[in-house]
């Protein structure tokens, strides 16, 4: 009989693992809460107060943002309304036409009456001319001031419509039309009046452009002013001259604006 060998198993040296259970968050929360009902109530009230203050900050922050947005909107609307509007009677020479903006007090005057009169006068003039040489662009009233804007096909149309003497062209064409430039001129540098310039020097280049007009108003040319007649004029920008005197438009001195 075959002898069986007894196999003795080695005892395991590995220690049994032990698992440590973590306390659940609910258990922690419950353990962190005071057991005293009054203390627990005060803690809950404190948390509610903190939440309320946070909501108030969010609410008032949003309200402030809305108010600021409304203020900025009103500011930009007003700015857009006034942007580009003339402050005084202004005649502008553009590359396409002539623009005149009349600015007057609306005291004792109804906007609708002014608009009706302007439409009637423009319509009658165009009928006589046989085409639309004058266009009424707008009649607007802002803060007791009336703004009337009209456009004209050219300076000759403006002169015929307004009744004021006006010429626009080159110095050479102005001389051919009979203008002798017999007045005192000053040079204009960087939008400011400078030294006196004689007519011979000015007329040496007959290709320079000139606006000649008998009217008290602000004049803007499509270029840079080089010389201007000195009598009753002020230069306010490189392209802008203001003619102002006590006499009315019919008896005002001729204003010469030479530019390129």
pLDDT tens digits, 42-85: 777 777 777 777 777 777 677 667 776 666 555 444 444 444 56
CB distance 228 to 258 below 8 Å: yes
> 226 or 247, which is more confident?
226
Distance of alpha carbon 82 from alpha carbon 141, whole angstroms: 11
Give the per-residue pLDDT at 174: 97
Kind and range of the H or E run holding 25 = helix 25-32
* 150: Cβ contacts below 8 Å, ≥ 6 apart: 99, 100, 102, 118, 122, 134, 135, 136, 137
Q: What is the pLDDT of residues 161-209, one digit of tens each?
A: 999 999 999 999 999 999 999 999 999 998 999 999 988 889 999 999 9
- DSSP assignment of 64-76, as one string? HHHHHHHHHHHHH
The pLDDT assigned to 230 comes to: 94
Q: What pLDDT is attached to residue 216?
A: 93
Tens of pLDDT, residues 3-15? 444 444 445 455 5
pLDDT of residue 47: 76
241 neighbors 228 (Cβ within 8 angstroms): yes
pLDDT tens digits, residue range 130-163? Answer: 999 999 999 999 888 999 999 999 999 999 999 9
Alpha carbon of residue 130 to chain centroid:
38
Range of weakest confidence among 16-25, 83-92, 111-120, 128-137: 16-25
């Amino acid at each position: 009989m075959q002898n069986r060998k007894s196999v003795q198993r080695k005892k395991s040296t590995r220690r049994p693992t032990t698992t440590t259970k973590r306390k659940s968050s609910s258990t922690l929360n419950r353990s962190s809460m005071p057991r005293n009902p009054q203390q627990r109530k005060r803690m809950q009230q404190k948390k509610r107060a903190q939440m309320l203050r946070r909501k108030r900050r969010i609410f008032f922050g949003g309200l402030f943002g809305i108010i600021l947005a409304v203020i900025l909107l009103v500011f930009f609307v007003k700015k857009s309304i006034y942007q580009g509007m003339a402050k005084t009677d202004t005649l502008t020479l553009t590359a396409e036409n002539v623009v005149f903006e009349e600015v007057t007090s609306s005291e004792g005057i109804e906007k609708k009456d002014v608009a009706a009169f302007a439409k009637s006068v423009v319509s009658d003039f165009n009928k006589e001319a046989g085409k639309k040489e004058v266009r009424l662009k707008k009649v607007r009233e802002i803060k007791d001031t009336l703004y009337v804007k009209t456009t004209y096909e050219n300076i000759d149309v403006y002169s015929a419509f307004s009744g004021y003497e006006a010429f626009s062209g080159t110095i050479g064409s102005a001389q051919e039309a009979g203008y002798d430039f017999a007045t005192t001129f000053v040079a204009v540098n960087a939008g400011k009046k400078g030294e006196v310039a004689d007519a011979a020097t000015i007329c040496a280049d007959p290709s320079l452009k000139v606006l000649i007009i008998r009217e008290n108003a602000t004049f803007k040319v499509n270029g840079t002013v080089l010389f201007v007649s000195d009598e009753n004029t002020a230069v306010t920008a490189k392209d802008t001259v203001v003619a102002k005197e006590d006499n009315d438009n019919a008896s005002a001195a001729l204003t010469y604006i030479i530019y390129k």
